[in-house]
Amino acid sequence: NAGVTQTPKFQVLKTGQSMTLQCAQDMNHNSMYWYRQDPGMGLRLIYYSASEGTTDKGEVPNGYNVSRLNKREFSLRLESAAPSQTSVYFCASRLPSSYNEQFFGPGTRLTVL
């Protein structure tokens, strides 16, 4: 049981390049999330998927797209990376209870030059 996994761990992009961050969970959770964490800004929600087949915007969705490929996998795509997207990206999944406990993957550290 690996929990929440993310790939890659590190990535450097040039401005304008595109890439997809991958996330998978093996806990049979319905809901999955993408956050970014920046110094002094805390964790901010980019997009989430309440269940397979649905996605919704969070606090900072501009510049990103997501795909809920199946129950296990939730990917985040940057179509044209900008230096402002330099951040640490965390994927999380939610325990199927009423209290909204979320469990995080190890993160992807992205630098856009």
Partner 1 sequence: QKEVEQNSGPLSVPEGAIASLNCTYSDRGSQSFFWYRQYSGKSPELIMFIYSNGDKEDGRFTAQLNKASQYVSLLIRDSQPSDSATYLCAVTTAGSYQLTFGKGTKLSVIP
Q: Which residues bind partner 1 (CB under 8 A)?
A: 31, 40-45, 48, 50, 56, 58, 90, 94, 99-107
Instruction: Kindly provide the residue ranges of all beta strands, DSSP E only, lying in 1-113, ordered along the sequence.
Output: 4-7, 10-13, 19-25, 31-38, 42-49, 56-57, 64-68, 74-78, 87-94, 102-104, 108-112
Give the nearest distance from C-beta 9 to partner 1 in angstroms.
11
Query: Which CB sits closer to partner 1, 62 or 97?
Result: 97
Query: Which CB sits closer to partner 1, 62 or 100?
Result: 100
CA pseudo-torsion sign 15, 40, 4, 94: negative
Query: Which CB sits closer to partner 1, 37 or 75?
Result: 37
Give the nearest distance from C-beta 16 to partner 1 in angstroms.
28
What distances in angstroms separate CA 91 from CA 15, 83, 102, one per listed residue? Answer: 23, 21, 10
Structure tokens at 73: 């996998």
Query: Which CB sits closer to partner 1, 57 or 79?
Result: 57
Give the nearest distance from C-beta 77 to partner 1 in angstroms.
21
